[in-house]
Amino acid sequence: MGEENHTQTASNGEVVSESNVKYYTIEEIKLHNMSKDTWLIIHDKVYDITSFLEEHPGGEEVLLEQAGADATESFEDVGHSTDAREMLEQYLIGELHMDDRKQESKTDVFNSTSGGESSVWTMWLVPALAAVVVGLMYRYYTLEHQSS
């Protein structure tokens, strides 16, 4: 009891959890949509890229178009390099609030091995089917021997 990961909601809507990850609501993120204060959401993480605007090889315009919003799709569409993905980390300020995440990303968070479920099924289903087939063959042959 009392050991759960409590979250506290501050007056400005920010939610701080015990794991020290800061969660921002979409409402709060939307406010940071100008060139002197630019936040972006990429894969449910929140980045303050104000100081990166001028450095971006793809130009600041494309970043400003997405400012205060989810840029995951455009970021992925460009096919950014691993270097670009690593660069992201230095601008990380928190994560998107759970309530504002899309359904599929919610499952990502709670099931970090997403897709693992289906492999567990195949892992068990294949041997189970093989066992059934072997069982049926065994029955078939023993019955055949009995009748002859």
Q: Which residue, 15 or 49, has its beta carbon nearer to ligand HEM?
A: 49
* Residue 33 main-chain phi, psi, to 5 deg: -120, 25
The nearest distance, CB 94 to ligand HEM, in angstroms, is 14
Taking the alpha carbons at both ends of the chain, their separation in whole angstroms is 69
Which among 16, 17, 15 has a CA at the least distance from the CA of 25? 15
Binding-site ranges for ligand HEM (CB under 6 A)? 40, 47, 49, 52, 56-58, 62-63, 66, 71, 74-75, 78, 80-81, 83-84, 87-88, 91
The DSSP string of 65-79 is HHTTEE-HHHHHHHT
Contact in structure between 45 and 109 (CB atoms under 8 Å)? no
Return the exposure string of 107-136: e unless at least 16 CB atoms fall within 10 Å of the residue's CB, then b.
eeeeeeeeeeeeeeeeeeeeeeeeeeeeee
Q: Which residue, 15 or 40, has its beta carbon nearer to ligand HEM?
A: 40
Q: Which residue, 62 or 128, has its beta carbon nearer to ligand HEM?
A: 62
Contact in structure between 49 and 39 (CB atoms under 8 Å)? yes
Q: Which residue, 8 or 82, has its beta carbon nearer to ligand HEM?
A: 82
The nearest distance, CB 122 to ligand HEM, in angstroms, is 35
Closest-CB residue for ligand HEM?
Answer: 58
Q: Which residue, 55 or 144, has its beta carbon nearer to ligand HEM?
A: 55
The nearest distance, CB 49 to ligand HEM, in angstroms, is 4
The nearest distance, CB 137 to ligand HEM, in angstroms, is 56
